[in-house]
Amino acid sequence: MSSFVSQFKAAASVKTADLRHRQVIRTALRSYEVVRDKRKAAFQSWESARQAAAETKWEAVNHLDTHLEALTAKLEARGTKVHWASNAAQAREIITQILRDKKARSIIKSKAMTSEEIHLNDALEAAGFTVVESDLGEFIVQLRHEPPYHIVFPSMHLTRGEIKDLFQKELGDAPSDSPEDLTMVARRVMRQKYLTADVGFTGANFAIAETGMISITENEGNARLTAALPKTMVTLLGIEKVLPKFADLALFLPMLATAGAGQPMTCYNTMYSGPRQPGEVDGPEEWHVVLLDNRRTELLADPEQRDALHCIRCGACLNVCPIFRNVGGHTYGTTYSGPVGSVITPHLRGLQDWKHLSNASSLCGACTEACPVKIDLHHHLLHNRRNASTNEPAFFERLSYQAFGLLANEPGLWWLAKKIGWLTQPLQKLVKGSALDPAKAWTKTRDLPPLPQETFKDWWKNRK
């Protein structure tokens, strides 16, 4: 068993037994569900919107090369420096070099899951830079030295009381646990950081090929300050973020807000098209855009699962996933958790090491139903299982299915197996749930049903 799967199982055992955790997540997601459904109902047809979004992303992803070239040309025409990073190490190197060239010491960041993906903060801190997260949720988890719990709500696992205690301990200031007071504490700390930061770092929600713009969506205004105050701006985004036309945002901005947070529109939506131009009074003097591949092109080469690149990182699939709701975001041990994380992590980080995430699903399909861009998520979990078993079958598991196939296809043996099952029931009861019980994975928490003496097939035969 790989260490990743044993870590996953150990963490899942702890979290599923933690009823308080379950309650915190359920309460948070219940209020999300109410507003999400209200916003979905405001679309003339949510289903048509999903179809249109899926088709737009299909076009974007299937002509990714053309759109990326157009995007780059437009960005460069207005003085932006565009960098291409094949993998995480290259991306870290490019960004570190920019900071060194600018003789930077401190960096202020707005929310970017791609920076989590390449473990940027650790690399920058190791290189001697000071890094401050400015998204409130990210700021909170940074104070706790832990990764974001959820791709949209990084600190949803914490109660206001816990955040108050954290601020008291780490910042020495927390007058009450009211959201207003806590926000004011964070704001006071952050304003100082903005003024002293040498470089502002952002992610991106969309990149528009037609106009050469990066679209950033946020609720706190922190990304705007990150982009506006420091002299140098750095933006990191995955290559799949590109959309062909500016007009596509008319669908994608409300859709992302609705699916992600149950909002009609996110509070601040900003389109960045270049650094400060001659005659302009504000904005960064330099802007670097880093386009990250990091094995996305391998996913692009897989026609069956290519639609996983449609993902707009809204988190809707996490929110409806009964696995996520019970094991929580940190259990996955990945940057991208929940159903979409279970689908793409094997592609980004290796199938055999991460196939357990595809197995850790009841294939219920709630994710696919929720996905605004119609990624066939739960079927891709099945496809990952098939690919993993075909490439490296587990010896005993395959043997047991071969044996099962023999039983199922041979009526005499099938009958015998059922009779043996019926006859050995009393013996199974003696060892129920113990280490000796061959069915202990089931019987530790569940009773087995009593087997009838007369099976359906017996009844059918006797009746005739």
Partner 1 sequence: MTVTLFIPCFIDAVYPRAGISMVEILERLGHRVECPGEAACCGQPPFNSGYWDEARPIAAKVLQQLATAEAVVIGSGSCGAMVKKFYPELFAGRPEAALAQAVASRTWEFSDFIASKLGVTELGAKFPHKVTFHDGCHGLRELGVKQSPRALMAKVQGLELVEMAEAETCCGFGGTFSAKFPMISTAMGDVKCASAIETGAEYIVSNDSSCLMHLQGLLTRQGKPLKTIHLAEVLNHR
Q: Which residues bind partner 1 (CB under 8 A)?
A: 9, 12-13, 16-17, 22, 322-323, 326-327, 359-366, 368-369, 382, 384-390, 393, 397-398, 401-402, 404-405, 407-409, 411, 414, 418, 421, 441-442, 444-449, 451-452, 454-461
Q: Least Å distance between CB 374 and partner 1?
A: 13
Smaller CB separation from partner 1, 125 or 442: 442
Nearer to partner 1, 179 or 393 (CB): 393
Shortest approach of partner 1 to residue 49 CB, angstroms? 20
For residues 352 and 391, is the Cβ–Cβ distance under 8 A? yes
Least separation in angstroms between residue 157's CB and partner 1 is 16
Smallest separation, CB 387 to partner 1 (Å) = 7
* Residue position matching structure tokens 């005993």: 396
Burial of 7 (0-12, 13-18, 19+ CB in 10 A): middle
Closest to partner 1 by CB, 196 or 453: 453
Coil, helix or strand at residue 171: helix
Angle separating helix axes 338-349 and 351-359, nearest 10 degrees: 160
Least Å from the CB of residue 446 to partner 1: 3
With a CB cutoff of 8 Å and minimum separation 6, the contacts of 292 are 85, 88, 91, 114, 117, 118, 236, 237, 238, 239
Structure tokens of 81? 């420096």
Q: How far apart are CA 423 and CA 379, in angstroms?
A: 39
- 33 or 65: CB nearest partner 1: 33
Q: Which is nearer to partner 1, 44 or 402 (CB)?
A: 402
The nearest distance, CB 454 to partner 1, in angstroms, is: 6
Measured from the Cβ of residue 212, the count of other Cβ atoms closer than 10 Å reads 23
Residue 74 makes CB contacts below 8 A (sequence gap 6+) with: 209, 210, 211, 212, 213, 273
Q: Which is nearer to partner 1, 297 or 443 (CB)?
A: 443
Angle between helices 160-171 and 179-196 (to 10 degrees): 40
Nearer Cβ to partner 1, position 202 or 384? 384
Minimal CA–CA distance to 152: which of 263, 233, 59, 231?
Answer: 263
Q: How far apart are CA 331 and CA 150, in angstroms?
A: 11
CB of 327 to partner 1, least distance (A): 6
To partner 1, the closest distance from the beta carbon of 326 in angstroms equals: 4
The β-bridge relationship of strands 199-202 and 206-208 is unpaired
| Choice between 45 and 390, CB closer to partner 1 | 390
* CB closer to partner 1, 264 vs 405: 405
**Cα–Cα distance between 129 and 107 in angstroms, integer?**
7
Strands (E), 313-438: none
Shortest distance in whole angstroms from residue 389 CB to partner 1: 3
- What token pair was written down for 202? 């952002």
Q: For 235, phi and psi rounded to 5 degrees? A: -125, 130
Rg from Cα positions in the chain = 26
Compute the least distance from the CB of residue 33 to partner 1, in Å.
9
Nearest residue (CB) to partner 1, 228 versus 448: 448
Closest CA to 199 of 274, 90, 124: 124
Q: CB count, 10 Å around CB of 171?
A: 13
Closest distance to partner 1 from the beta carbon of 348 (Å): 19
**39 in Cβ contact with 255 (< 8 Å):** no
Backbone angles phi, psi at 244, to 5 degrees: -65, -50
Q: Which is nearer to partner 1, 40 or 224 (CB)?
A: 40
